[in-house]
Structures are given as structure tokens and as C-alpha cells.
Amino acid sequence: MMMRDLFAIVMLFGIYSLLSAAIFVTLDAVDVAFTEAAVGAGISTILVLSTLALTSSEEKPPQHKFFLPLLVVLITGTALVFGTLDMPDFADPNAPVHQHVAPRYIHDSFQETGLPNIVTSVLASYRGYDTMGEVVVIFTAGIAVSLLLTSVRHKRNEPGNLKDLGHHPIILYVSQLMIPLILLFALYVQFHGDFGPGGGFQAGVIFAAGFILYAMIIGIDKIRETFSSACLRWLAVTGVVLYISVGIVTLLLGGEFLNYNVIAEDPVEGQHWGIFLVELGVGITVTATMLGLFLTFSEVKRSQ
Amino acid sequence: MWDLILLYTSNVSLILGSFLSLSLGLGLIRFPDFYSRMHAAGVADTLCAGLIVFGLSLQSGFNLVTLKLYLILLFIWFTSPTSSFTLANTAYRAGHGVDKTSEEESSSKS
């Protein structure tokens, strides 16, 4: 409770994410578990650690009294717990969440979209608006961080700490062996998401993690040459634009926004193409944003 | 008969793997300094993962799941020692020597 070591807190947070991923697996929510493991335990730990490298790994002692915040937290917590009393029982089959649209997804999604993985069809097709919102949120976050840090960017980090790791042959060879496999696995997750667990978000994060590993072990300058910040920004925009343009195309073809049935003659094939393109857009944006965040963090000089 | 042998072999290797995993955790908490903790985690990890995957593969039979299990094992066998090595090497080069107090303790005990 009184822990001030931010590094330990970040590690605990990663462990917490991994454990909740295990809980999701036991609840048969494999897609959610995959996302939690890749995003929560994987990439956000890397990003927060690179933030800590910029700031300090010790929390400053608080300046204010803690009675008022405690009171606010207690009141809010009580209100929230009071609110849960009206909720249906855990795993109650008559709960509204199981009666509203879920039966339709479970019974009809295979006929309507032709995808065995219901999660993908819900995420990319039935709930396409929500996913579009999520992609735009990630894109906005990436833009905001790079805007905030641009003012200090001209102070380049001395190439030192990051490059050191690759000097040792064992680390170098094993990561050279692993990076192509990681990228291949990311592509598999991206394009196999229709049939098994996976999809654009996880694939984008894994793809970015492969490049981040390369940057940490073999050399960040190569990554900077390949993906300049302008290039990453264009990629991030491309993903969002791809997603939205699929919606606009469906509008022009006479359907509703993001109703993929109209893309091809056969509605199921149209769904297939729509979901494929939308997931591709998600993957591109997530990759570009995550990699861009990492590169932005590593460019800023450590503040004293 | 054959099924029974398979079942018992799988159970024994699963239990052994879990025991190793447990002792790994214990070592991680109880050992005095950074490097011996690393040693506990890094050494037991490979054997523990191997035993558990072996036990699970005996239960799954010979199919695609087994192949995937052994691919995971291969991945762990490549990455886990490398990451332990990276951690220890980085700590060593960052000048994180063996803790002075624990050195004195061990010399006074012996």
C-alpha cells in the first residue's frame, strides 16, 4: 500500500495482467485472455518501463493529507457496491445480457458471417462501430503522446544503454532466431483470427513487440531508418482510413455503414472481405502506434 | 494396461513438474541474493516446463495438440535460459555484485 518503488509496481501490474489472462482462459474467453496477455502483460509493461526510464523509478512522497481522498474513495466505493446489489446473480441464465443479443450471435453468426470464431464476427461485424471507436482511441492516444513529447525531442538520447545488449552473442543469436518467428506468428494471429483466437489488436501488438525486441537487441537506429516517425504516422492513419473507408464503401453500395453484406454478391463472402479489411486496418494502426510510442519514448532524453 | 502406464507416467511427471515449480517459487523468495534467486528460477524452469509438457502430451495422445505443446516447449527452452542469462549478465555488468552482508553471513556460517 505504501510502496514507492514504481518499478516493482509495474512488475506487479504485469503479473496481475498475466493472472487475469489465466482467469479468462479458465472462463473459456480465449480471445480476451490473448488480448490481456499481449496488451496488458506484454506491450504496456514495455511502454511503462520505457516511461520510467525517462522519469524516475521512485514515487515522490505525497504532499497532501490523505483523509479527503480516502473519504471520496469510500463514498464512491459504497455507491458502487450498492449498485451491484441490483445486478442479476452471477451466471444467471435469465440475466438481460444473456437474453438480449447473445442468443442471436450464438445461433446465427455462423450462417450470417461464415466465421467459426464468434468473437471475431461480433467484434468486427456486429459491433463494428465499437471497434472503430477503439481504433480511433488508440490512434488518438499515439498522436497525443507524440505531440506531448515533441517539445523535448530535439535532445537525442546518447546511443548507449539500449545498444549494449546486442554485444553478447547468445542474446544476439537467440533474438535473431526468434524475431522472424514472432513476426510470422503475428501474421498468423492476424489472418487466422477468423477461425481461432486472435485478430487485429493482438497481431498488431505482437508485430510491434517483434520490432521493439529488434530495436532493443540489435540496434534502434536500423528501426529508425526503416520506420521514420512520418512513416509510422502515415501507417497509423492508413489503418484508421482503411477501416472507415470500408464503411463508406458499404454506404455507397447501398447498405448501412459497416454492413459488409453488400460488398460481394454473396453476403457471407461480403462479410468475409469486410472483416478481413477491417481487421487489417486495426492491425496496421495498432502496430504503428505501439512502435511509434516506443520510438518516441526512446528518443527523449532522460530528465534529471 | 498401456493406458494405465501412460496415465501413471503422465501423472508422475506432472506432479514432479509442479513440485519443481513450487520449489522454484520458494527459492525465488527465500534465497539470499539476486544471483542465487536467478539460479533457482532459471535452472528449475526448463526442467519444470519440460516435465509438465511431457505429462500433458501423454494425456493428449498423438495429434496436433502434442505438436503444438512441443513447439511451446521448444520456444520456452530457447527463450527462458536466454532471458535469465540476459538478466544476470545485465545485472553483473551494471555492477550489481553479490550482496556484502550475505557474503559475510555465508562465510561466518561455514
CB A253 within 8 A of CB A263: yes
B95 vs A contacts (CB less than 8 Å): none
Dihedral sign, Cα of residue A30, residue A32, residue A33, residue A37: positive
Structure-block grid coordinates of residue A134: 477503439
Give per-residue pLDDT as tens, B10-49. Answer: 999 999 999 999 988 898 888 888 888 888 888 888 888 8
Q: Do A170 and B93 touch (CB under 8 A)?
A: no
Structure-block grid coordinates of residue B34: 539476486
**More confident of the two residues B101 and A85:** A85
Nearest residue in A to B80, CA atom: A174
Residue-averaged pLDDT of chain A = 84
ipTM given for this complex: 0.73
SS (H, E, C) A17-33: HHHHHHHHHHCCCHHHH
Nearest beta carbon to residue A165 from set B78, B79, B86:
B86
CB A131 within 8 A of CB A124: yes
Q: Do B82 and A165 touch (CB under 8 A)?
A: no
The pLDDT score that the predictor gives to residue A160 is: 46
CB A287 within 8 A of CB A187: no
C-alpha span between A96 and A116 (Å, rounded): 25
Chain A: closest CA distance from residue B108 (Å): 32
Question: Which residues of chain A are at the B interface, by a Cβ-Cβ cutoff of 8 Å?
Answer: 164-165, 168, 170-171, 174-175, 177-178
Of A294, A281, A288, nearest to A234 by C-alpha is: A288
The pLDDT score that the predictor gives to residue A137 is: 94
Q: Alpha carbon A104 to chain centroid distance?
A: 28
**pTM, full prediction:** 0.81
Chain B: closest CA distance from residue A50 (Å): 17
Chain B: closest CA distance from residue A2 (Å): 20
Of A225, A216, A221, nearest to A172 by C-alpha is: A216
Residue-averaged pLDDT of chain B = 82
The pLDDT score that the predictor gives to residue A153 is: 53
CB atoms closer than 10 angstroms to residue A302: 12
Residues of chain A scoring pLDDT < 50: 157-160, 162, 303-304
C-alpha span between A215 and B87 (Å, rounded): 17
- Tell me the CA end-to-end span of chain B in Å, nearest whole number: 52
Dihedral sign, Cα of residue A254, residue A244, residue A125, residue A276: positive
Nearest beta carbon to residue B89 from set A168, A174, A178:
A168
Nearest residue in B to A162, CA atom: B90
C-alpha span between A24 and A34 (Å, rounded): 9
Q: Alpha carbon A134 to chain centroid distance?
A: 9
- Flag whether pLDDT at B101 surpasses 90: no
Q: Do B79 and A177 touch (CB under 8 A)?
A: no
CB atoms closer than 10 angstroms to residue A44: 18
A274 sits in which H/E element = helix A267-299
The pLDDT score that the predictor gives to residue B98 is: 56
Question: Which residues of chain B are at the A interface, by a Cβ-Cβ cutoff of 8 Å?
Answer: 78-79, 82, 85-86, 89-90, 93
Q: Do A168 and B82 touch (CB under 8 A)?
A: no
Chain A: closest CA distance from residue B2 (Å): 30
